[in-house]
Amino acid sequence: MAKVIANMSMSLDGFVADPSDGVEHLFGWYGNGDVTIPTATPGLTFQVSEASAAHLRSAMENVGALIVGRRLFDMTDGWGGRHPMDVPVFVVSHTVPDGWPRRDAPFTFVTDGVESAVTQAKEVAGDGWIGVGSKIASQCLNAGLLDEIRVDLVPVLLGGGVPFFEGLTCAPVELEGPRVIEGTGVTHLYYTVKSGETK
Amino acid sequence: MAKVIANMSMSLDGFVADPSDGVEHLFGWYGNGDVTIPTATPGLTFQVSEASAAHLRSAMENVGALIVGRRLFDMTDGWGGRHPMDVPVFVVSHTVPDGWPRRDAPFTFVTDGVESAVTQAKEVAGDGWIGVGSKIASQCLNAGLLDEIRVDLVPVLLGGGVPFFEGLTCAPVELEGPRVIEGTGVTHLYYTVKSGETK
């Protein structure tokens, strides 16, 4: 069965974007190394350390679908119709945006909630991972649907912004791990959500 | 010169206490190992993993003074007049509590702010470290007085509570590191505050 995994770059004080939605202080590790990692987006490659390359390759090889919120979809303008990871994307949204769905873009708009999105994503992902964004991650945690949390922990304090985890109704949530991968300018931490531990 | 170090147990979502000021989900690592670490408080010993024992011993051998907020002082009832780490404690407070200072307890009440507390602590700490609590840590960061941040990162999401860092006026704060020490049920992360990087 496909695992549902939340993976985000996060500041030491728990934010995935600064108060202006900026990520420039969090994404430095995507460009501070010698190993080139291509993506499905023309012109977008990552230049990362060996350690981070293994982390990224593992994700890119295993991910089978993504679930994102409408806000991220809008902010990225739907990644131009093709996500850099080149997998089907399920957008949890109250409404379907104008001009969507498009026949040339594997984007599905899910208007009946995150549980439905996970069900639909599992149908297409096979044994692949289902990657979820931060807001979706908290909703999945609350629904008991999140299997793993992978934090790309960046050595910076942002002092505010968009938290990775917000609106948890199931806290405290006990985790197992982490497996630690030490990159350059980032520490990758892999946690497993303990099943049955949420209240 | 004495280094000013903030060291706290923190949840993955950035809290040093839960919404009820509880720390039971954060302090499990103090009692989940085979190595006994005595403290200056009668009856209080830690039972930690080898890795965490090295972390704690290093702190206990090197700390020369502590700076805490009035709230923690009140919550712990002044540690009965002797802090478990057995060093002089400087309490940043608007007022001096009734019955204090006491001749038998090395507690100094600093009513003129955190910078004064750091100056006074450095006078007694010699080359020893000055440990600061979470609220004091943020004030020290804002004043450019914090040298290191040591996070005992615990695999739990608390969903709310008391944040390690709050009210930062100097963010973003760039850090160096971390040095990673993998304990049992805790990951010790040592960061250095980059000098001159605060805004």
How do the domains of chain A map onto residue ranges?
A: 4-193
Fill in the DSSP letter of residue A96: P
Residue A175's closest chain B neighbor by CA?
B155
Q: What is the mean pLDDT of chain B?
A: 95
Does B189 lie at the interface with A, CB-CB under 8 angstroms?
yes
pLDDT tens sequence across A127-148: 999 999 889 999 999 999 999 9
Instruction: Report chain A residues whose CB lies below 8 A from the CB of B151.
Output: 12
Question: Residues A32-38: what's their mean pLDDT?
Answer: 97
- B59 to chain A, any CB pair closer than 8 A? The answer is no
Beta bridge partners of A17: A162
Instruction: Say whether pLDDT at B43 is over 80.
Output: yes
pLDDT tens per residue, range B142-159:
999 999 999 999 999 999
User: Is B126 a residue whose pLDDT tops 60?
Assistant: yes
Q: How confident is the model at residue B195 (pLDDT cuts 50, 70, 90)?
A: confident
What is the ipTM, given to two decimal places? 0.95
Measured distance CA(B174)–CA(B178) in Å, rounded: 12
Percent of chain A with pLDDT over 90: 95
Touching A: B residues 12-31, CB under 8 Å:
12-14, 18, 25
Q: What are phi and psi of A51, to 5 degrees?
A: -65, -45
**pLDDT given for residue A197 in this prediction:** 44
Quote the tokens at residue A97: 């945006």
Q: Does the structure show a pLDDT above 90 at A184?
A: yes
Residue B196 — pLDDT band, cuts 50, 70, 90?
low
Select the residue of B171, B175, B187 nearest A160 (Cβ to Cβ). B171
Give the mean pLDDT of B146-174: 97
pLDDT of residue A198: 44
pLDDT at B197 over 50: no
Q: Which secondary-structure segment (H or E) carries A155?
A: none
- State whether residue B197 sits within 8 Å of chain A by CB: no
- Check residue A133 and give its pLDDT: 87
Interface mutation vs chain B, best among A12, A148, A162, most B CBs within 10 Å: A12
Distance CA B175, CA B194 (A): 5
Fold assignment, A4-193:
Dihydrofolate Reductase, subunit A (3.40.430)
For residue B54, pLDDT over 90 is answered with: yes
Long-range contacts of the stretch B94-99 (C-beta < 8 A, 24+): B94/B70, B97/B70, B97/B73
pLDDT at B199: 42
Helix, strand counts (H, E) of chain B: 4, 13
Across the interface, do A12 and B141 touch by the CB < 8 Å criterion?
no
In tens, the pLDDT along A49-99 reads: 999 999 999 999 999 999 999 999 999 999 999 999 999 999 999 999 999
Name the 3-class secondary structure at A58.
helix
Q: Which residues of chain B neighbour A176 with C-beta distances below 8 Å?
A: 155
- Give the mean pLDDT of chain A: 95
Average pLDDT of the residues in B2-22: 96
- Please write down the long-range contacts of A38-47, taking CB distance under 8 Å and 24 or more positions apart: A39/A84, A39/A85, A39/A86, A40/A82, A40/A83, A40/A84, A40/A85, A40/A86, A41/A79, A41/A80, A41/A82, A41/A83, A41/A84, A44/A84
Looking at chain A, which residue has its C-alpha nearest residue B184? A177
Rounded to the nearest angstrom, the minimum Cα separation between B186 and chain A is: 9
Could you tell me where the DSSP H helices lie in A41-165?
50-62, 70-75, 114-125, 134-142
Chain A residues with CB-CB distance to B12 below 8 A: 14, 149, 151, 165, 175, 189, 191
Predicted confidence at residue A1, as pLDDT, reads 76
